[in-house]
Chain A
Amino acid sequence: MGVILTYLIFNKDYSSTQSKSVVEASTPSIESSSQPSPDGLWKVLMTTTPLASGSAQYIFSTVDKSNIQQEIYSHITNEKYMIPFNAWSPDDKYVFIQKDTGEAYVFTRSGDPITSLESFLDVKAIFNQTERKDIYDHVTGWASPSLLIINTMTDNGEKGSSYWFEVPSKAIIQLWGDF
């Protein structure tokens, strides 16, 4: 009887510890950040869930004043995303997110496809297709409801020209001066 009781006690302790470990391993810390639209009617929300592999799952949603969320994009990566201060177009129709390496992606607020063939626009990839001397650096914000501003670098590391990137036509227009 004593042997049986002893076994049960130690087994219970082990089970509790094991359960506790399992609970800790299955509850990664989820971080979230958001940016309101300039008029305060919407916000874009980013939730970041670290994964065991060292990468993270990023989920982007737009949220209205009634707190109704609409997921617009999800990606598992070991790169880092951020929501820039100027994420929203002035008319709240588009939102762009950015990686810490400067790549920018433009979405519709609703998550609907931004063109007939694309669910979002990869600004850097489109800029690079134009084969310009200036090297894409990052997007600063919206010059108007449909124009993003791209900042560039020259190949000797100096600041290059700025460009407008028109959404959704993808037209790229060099500007006089830079931002």
Chain B
Amino acid sequence: MNKSRVTSRSIKKYGLKVPSLSPFFWIGSISLIAFLITLIYILPNNTPCANSKSCTSDLTEKIENGSIAMYQGHTLPAPTIDLLPKPNAYNVLGETTSPELKHIYVDLSAQKLYAYENDKNIFETLVSTGRWGKTPTGNFHIWAKFRATRMSGGSGDDAYDLPNVPYVMYFYHDFGLHGAYWHNNFGHTMSHGCVNLRQIDAEYLFNWTDGPSNTNKGTSVSVCDTFTQPNICKQDNPIQL
């Protein structure tokens, strides 16, 4: 029996109408779907960058001792990163606490950072957030910690290339908390989106925060348009993760 005839009779019996489709239609449809799926993976990611050049490369630890930094047309030596543990080092920010009880708040309007253990403010300091590129507001977790890395971006007079940026704690793509050795104007916006800290403050936080583990996400970081202690974080257009 002819299969197509049986199919046609069955369709007529049950009132169904199926157009006869050419095999080329199916080949074309499948090809189009495959093409679209491929585009999704190769098209540039829409996630914003803090550092327009270094964010397109792998975000990994990079120690480049002896290198020269460039910032706003000025050059300066990058700090030497010593990976050896400091003698008599101790956790300046106090006793070790369960990771889920730690929380960092960044107040963009006041240019301040607060570190909390549960509801206790254990540390606060001045920071410099995004001036040429806004620091995104939202509720994040530290997804990676690097003792140092290279950050580069900008163009023209704003171009910068900063090796050995110390105590890096990424919380959203390449937006992170880190030490800044090229300026000392904390309390005022200075960065391209990251949260700059004095090197000593970044070191304190780096030794206190947690990266992700098998059982916990990394330390919570909330970036707020305004922050009122102990935990009122106002965010107008936060990133939704």
B198 at the interface (CB under 8 A from A): yes
A38–B183 alpha-carbon span in the complex (Å): 9
State how many angstroms separate the Cβ of B68 from the closest Cβ of chain A: 13
> CB within 8 A of B184: which of A40, A86, A179?
A86
Known contacts being A38-B200, A39-B199, A143-B72, is A86 close to B182, with CB within 8 Å? no
Residues of chain B lying within 8 A (CB to CB) of residue A86: 184-187
Complex interface bits, B117-130 against A, C-beta within 8 A gives 1, otherwise 0:
00000000010000
Interface of A is mostly: loop
Q: Is the CB of A89 within 8 A of B184?
A: yes
Q: Is A160 an interface residue (CB 8 A)?
A: no
Q: How many residues of A contact B (CB 8 A)?
A: 20
Q: How far is the CB of A155 from chain B (nearest CB, A)?
A: 24
Decide: A39 near B183, CB < 8 A? Known: A143-B72, A144-B72.
Answer: no
Asked if A38 contacts B198 (CB within 8 A), the reply is: yes
Taking CB atoms, residues of chain A closer than 8 Å to B184 are: 38, 86, 88-90, 141-142
Question: Shortest CB–CB separation between residue A100 and chain B, in angstroms?
Answer: 17
Across the interface, name the chain A residue whose C-beta is closest to B77: A91
Contacts of A141 in B (CB 8 A): 183-188
B74 — which chain A residues lie within 8 A by C-beta? 144-147
Residues of chain A having any CB pair with chain B under 8 Å: 36, 38-40, 85-86, 88-91, 140-147, 149, 179
Q: Which residues in B have some Cβ–Cβ distance to A below 8 Å?
A: 71-72, 74, 76, 79, 126, 179-190, 198-200, 203
